[in-house]
Structure 1
Amino acid sequence: MKYLLLLFLSFTSSLVFSQSETLDYSITAKTSFNGRHCRGTHGLCNFDDAARDIDSNSIITYNEENNLIVIQIERTKLSQDEQSLILREDPQNYTDNTPIYYLMEDDFIIPNGISQQLQIHRENVRILHGMYPLTITEDTITITFNLE
């Protein structure tokens, strides 16, 4: 009986811990910020999850609990022009404490293949146009998008 109680208590504690985890799903991709229809303007153009690891420049994470997508882009894999397309100006103009936002001028439909890999169980998932928080460090640019 004592062993049965011990087994039950150990199972219960593992069950409680597994339920408290956040549900985040991540993939690596080549993210392009060449604007709507990839015309070289400002905005998201494409997520390419089929890119080789060496060509990938970002980690895309879906936070199911808050219905967010976080894109963390490696700055070393972006040209100065690409960084300027994201930031709309020279990255060196920003100071550490300056709040920065990414302006999304148009809605962006996340490709269904990407949505499936991120365990988003619906089609035509959109990032709506608007202002989204952006964090810039020496190594990365991180943008947090709310999903529709």
Structure 2
Amino acid sequence: MHRFLNDPTLAVPVFPGSHIAMDGHYLFLSGLTVTDIQGGDAVLGDIAEETRWVMRRLSRMLEYAGASLAHVVRVDIHLTNLDTIHTMDAAYAEFFENHSYPARTCTESSRLSGGANVEITLMARQPSTSSHCKGEAGHET
């Protein structure tokens, strides 16, 4: 059974989607930019800080759903300027231990929501010990 959740610390999505979708095996987190995070626009233009803000929030979203960054198996990153990839990579790498990095794609997108310079989305294996989300029940289909 699929479950769809919204992180209560983020604004409700303005698009027809959910922050988190769970299928009993995997957690799918929608793409996130700093402009989705209250106060995040303060770091717009600093690719390293934008990356850190987004990764910290994605980590909290995973915890909300009963997982952690250690459960991440795939990441998709969109940059408005692929020339900033090395700076983004350095900040991104801070969030994974022992060089245990998930599979990843990084592309250049000419325009991201809210004028952000990086958008990150991820997929994580749902821990078998976590059968329920820590937050509200969400809606199921």
TM-score relative to the length of structure 1: 0.28
- Identify which of structures 1 and 2 has the higher relative contact order when contacts are C-alpha pairs closer than 8 Å and 6+ apart: 2
Q: TM-score, normalised by structure 2?
A: 0.29
Q: Which has the higher strand share?
A: 1
